[in-house]
Structure 1
């Protein structure tokens, strides 16, 4: 589903790419030359880290399931009703969670899927777990700027055809995201949205 070199989706189609925000645009366009020069498409180098993330998530889920089974067995001996309560697990608890540290100082813990922007709004028929609002007085961030989700325990992002684009910055590697295409981002990656940014932790 993802390219082994750059981490972007290899199955993206015009139908799967998101349409621009239908609301009237009031984003301040910074122009094509507002970023530092030397932005190139290079491998992000997430293969090893993604594998470690998958191992950690799998181990955590296995430990949680084993603990739930042990608690259920113990509860059955004392109270059959208590065993039923222990056996019911919260699906959201098993989903990987990600910490987004914004340049504004705000920290958000997210899971599942979400949209990020000044006033994020799903398209008709879409459903998300989170709508993350960025305080951006300069309006360099679009109303619905970015979409994110999880793939095998790793966070992915996709630019939603924003006015000023999205840049993934990791160490010396910099990738300007193609709108509508998914890119894997591991812990420590800085994601730039217009003049704002957040770090994945």
Structure 2
């Protein structure tokens, strides 16, 4: 009797598990950079506040100092590390442009041209026309007129400028004062009444007259 041969046993190798190497987690550099950028923008837009401490010029390392184990300094300043700015600081920060200087208007002037050849320029200061000579009067602009006929009083008329309009006033003289505007008839002045005149008007004092320019 022939016995069957026994089949050799084949050893089944179990799969060996390879140990997984630990994956090092990198520090979120991008997140720290974004936080620093947004923090700087928030501080820049906050015009009413300024940082208590200046920002560090050296970029801090997110890992810190490995030798000492200390965390890196110079982190972005938060909103709590700010204080109120003065009006001068706000003005400097905003750089507000100054106002443009106003253009100064030239003072108004009138010219009195007498038929005697005399020409006098007057301004806002009131004055008097007559034969009285007084050069020491600082309040009134006195205009001296020669009159051989004695028809002009010592102080014949008073004149002035109000709101850019020239006016005259007879001072109750014997010969009186006559005014005539262009295109109008002559008008005898009532003593102490004010008569507003336009340029090219003619004012007659006794035998002497002048034209307003």
Q: Normalized against structure 2, the TM-score is what?
A: 0.47
Which of these residues, 79, 103, 121, is aligned with residue 67 of structure 1?
A: 103
Q: Give the counterpart of 2:127 among 96, 103, 114.
A: 114
2:176 aligns with: 165
Say if 1:181 and 1:120 are closer, same or farther in 2 by CA, change over 3 A. farther
- Matched with 1:183 is 195
Measure the CA separation in 2 of the matches of 1:192 and 1:167. Answer: 5
Q: Give runs of aligned pairs for residues 1-80 of structure 1, distance below 5 A.
A: 66-67=102-103
Alignment partners' CA distance in 2, 1:149 and 1:95: 14
SS in 2 for 1:184: strand
Q: What's the offset of the Cα at 1:120?
A: 5.9
Residue 117 of structure 1: CA displacement?
A: 0.4
User: Retained in 2: the 8 A contact 1:120–1:145?
Assistant: no
Structure 1 match to 2:210: 198
* Alignment deviations for residues 89-120 of structure 1 (CA, whole Å, 9 cap, x no partner): xxxx8542110000101100011200000116
* 1:136 pairs with one of 147, 170, 173: 147
Q: Which has the higher helix share?
A: 1
Question: CA separation in 2, counterparts of 1:131 and 1:114?
Answer: 5
Counterpart of 1:156 (choices 156, 167, 172) is 167
C-alpha separation in 2, matches of 1:116 and 1:95: 22
Q: Distance in 2 between matches of 1:156 and 1:177?
A: 12
> Alignment length, in residue pairs?
110
Could you say what the CA RMSD is over the residues aligned between the two structures, in angstroms?
2.4
Question: Residue deviations 1:159-185, cap 9 Å, x none?
Answer: 011110000012342110000010001
Mark the runs of 5 or more structure 1 residues left unpaired by the alignment.
1-64, 69-92
Evaluate the alpha carbon distance shift between residue 120 and residue 185 of structure 1 in structure 2; reply closer, same or farther with a 3 A threshold: farther
Q: Distance in 2 between matches of 1:185 and 1:105?
A: 21
Partners of 1:166 and 1:193 within 8 A in 2: yes
CA contact (8 A) 1:158 1:179 kept: yes
Larger-Rg structure: 2
Q: Deviations over 1:38-69 (max 9, x none)?
A: xxxxxxxxxxxxxxxxxxxxxxxxxxx7236x
